[in-house]
Amino acid sequence: MSAQRLTMEELAARIARDIPKGAYVNLGIGQPTKVADHLPPEREVVLHTENGMLGMGPTATGDLVDPDLTNAGKVPVTELPGAAYFHHADSFAMMRGGHIDVCVLGAYQVSEHGDLANWHTGREGDIPAVGGAMDLAIGAKQVYVMMSLLNKSGEPKLVPACTYPLTGLGCVNRVYTDVAVFETGPDGVRVLETFGIGTDELRDLLPVALR
């Protein structure tokens, strides 16, 4: 692939641009948490964590690191003015109750119709880790996926149908990858933006029809 791929940090900044002002947002464990570091304060986005916090700020560094203040992935974070803390069960009730406007999740695979597989590869030795992904996939109003377009073996992760165990059916609205941004849904895959790659080259890489 000849494209100059975005780094995960650059991709996080790209996703941050699409987070609406004042939205309540959950950032999944792993790479999606980087989005927090690219949200301008004037956007007034309220970040929610599965472990019971509203008003999470950017990643903590240096003297700001507090081992008792972490996100769900145990990464030290900061708190913004007005931050609130609550029980883990209340946090999941917010997710399941449709109170999260946008969630950003990682993925092993996304199907052309927006099915999500992100908790288990099914391979021997891999440890399944559902966490709150199923609750977010179904409960959030918009589901964004942040992932590389290809896996470590060079196989596409945007596929006609997921072959890994599913997290949710038809739940993904957008897929942000290191070479392009896609919209998924009942009508298939639409290319919204590319990064140094042409649509024809994308078609050669992917086993799905592109609009």
The pLDDT of residue 121: 87
CATH topology of domain 8-205: Glutaconate Coenzyme A-transferase (3.40.1080)
The pLDDT of residue 3: 59
Question: Which residues contact residue 147 at a Cβ distance below 8 angstroms, ignoring those fewer than 6 apart?
Answer: 31, 106, 107, 110, 157, 175, 176, 177
pTM of the model: 0.95
Domain ranges in the chain are: 8-205
50 part of the active site:
yes
The pLDDT of residue 190: 98
Single out the catalytic residue among 9, 42, 44, 50.
50
Reduced to 3 states, what is the DSSP secondary structure of residue 81?
A: strand
Q: Dump pLDDT digits (tens) for 85-103.
A: 999 999 999 999 999 999 9
Report the share of the chain in percent with pLDDT over 90: 92
How far is the CA of 65 from the CAs of 27, 163, 165, 184, in angstroms?
19, 40, 36, 38
The rounded distance, in Å, linking the Cα atoms of 19 and 60 is: 21
Report the share of the chain in percent with pLDDT over 70: 99
Give the confidence band of 1 by pLDDT, cuts at 50, 70, 90.
low
Q: Dump pLDDT digits (tens) for 162-196.
A: 999 999 999 999 999 999 999 999 999 999 999 99
